[in-house]
Structure 1
Amino acid sequence: MYNYLVKKLIKKSFGLVNERRFKELLESAVPNVRHSFAGDHSLGGTRNDRGAFQAWLERLSRVMPKLFIKVNHIVVRGWPGNTLAIVRWTATAILENGDPYLNKGTHFITLKWGKVTEIDVYEDTLAVYNGLEKQFKSGIEEAKAPQIIS
């Protein structure tokens, strides 16, 4: 039953990202949530609090405004005091120049007593980099901004 509830929470969280409902999403995270996104680009780096994570989510919505993430599989291990959820996903979008964007990746999400404490994201960093380059060339300057880190 516990695993079912965690899976439901995770699916809801990805839905909130797709709907750009970040304030509601952040309510499920501890104040010092750690968010790490692989890659040497404007979305890469590590954030160590909700404010920086919110700024990152808002940037994501500006540099990839048509991004949609489909959850493919969720595995949950552990108990309420220390839970790990592994999420395999596929991200798609139509870029500003009309090109399709496709990326596959995995989130490793740590929860303690129903609150997200850590998120580590591993994806095809070259796909992200190339997508951001195309967005920059289409006029989204923030696609080449410095990383948001804290």
Structure 2
Amino acid sequence: MIYSSIVEKAIRQSFDDVNNHRWDDAVKGLSPNAYHRVSGIHALGGERHGKQAVKQWFERMGRVFPTLHIEVDQVRVTGWPWNTTVFAKWRANAKLLDGRSSYVNNGIHVFNLRWGKVHSIEEYFDSQAADRALAIQAGAGLDEAAAKPIAS
């Protein structure tokens, strides 16, 4: 019970770090060879291996959605310290650069931790909503919103 509470608090803190663009803090709990996957073929999609590549992805997310705010609704922790699975259900929104549109999405992150370090993060959400919002950002002049995914 105590272990689950500690893990839940750390996961919620990582989302807060993302909301506040504290990228170093957002990745400090990752193992050096962490795996990160996001559905979709767009600037935020694809797979990354390694803490530095994940940090680059977070930095890009902050640039293409500078007003992004993620609200965590639920966190469920299962397993033991040597193999923990965490499910985080969230809602996200951001104002888009066209001045009329918003990005709204709901999703789930699935984290795998080993001895307190995040070894993998897989994100499941409406990738078409993300693609549409990125297209609006690119249309407003933010070229990185149309860039190829960061992959490693």
Give the TM-score, by structure 1 length.
0.98
Residue 67 of structure 1: CA displacement? 0.4
Task: Give SS of 2:10's match.
Answer: helix
The RMSD of aligned alpha carbons is 0.6
Q: Secondary structure at the match of 2:106?
A: strand
Q: Quick one: distance in 2 between partners of 1:60 and 1:109?
A: 19
Normalising by structure 2, report the TM-score. Answer: 0.97
Identify the residue that residue 30 of structure 1 maps to in structure 2.
Answer: 31
Amino acid at match of 1:105: G
Report runs of 4+ in structure 1 exceeding 6 Å deviation.
none
Tell me the residue number matched to 2:116.
114
Counterpart of 2:59 in structure 1: which amino acid?
A: E
List gaps (5 residues or longer) in structure 1.
none
C-alpha distance in 2 between matches for 1:78 and 1:24? 25
One-letter identity of the residue aligned with 1:134:
I
- Would you say how many aligned residue pairs link Structure 1 and Structure 2? 150
Q: CA deviation at 1:2?
A: 1.0
CA contact (8 A) 2:23 2:55 kept: yes
| Equivalent residue number for residue 73 of structure 1 | 74
The percent identity for this pair of structures is 40
Partners of 1:100 and 1:35 in 2: CA distance:
25
Q: Which amino acid aligns with 2:86?
A: A
Q: What does residue 139 of structure 2 align with?
A: 137
- Please list the CA deviations of residues 101-131 of structure 1 after superposition, one character each: whole Å capped at 9, or x if unmatched: 1000000001111111000001101100000
Secondary structure in structure 1 of the residue aligned to 2:33: strand
Write the mapping of 1:1-150 to structure 2, written as runs, cut at 5 A. Answer: 1-98=2-99, 99-150=101-152
Retained in 1: the 8 A contact 2:102–2:133? no
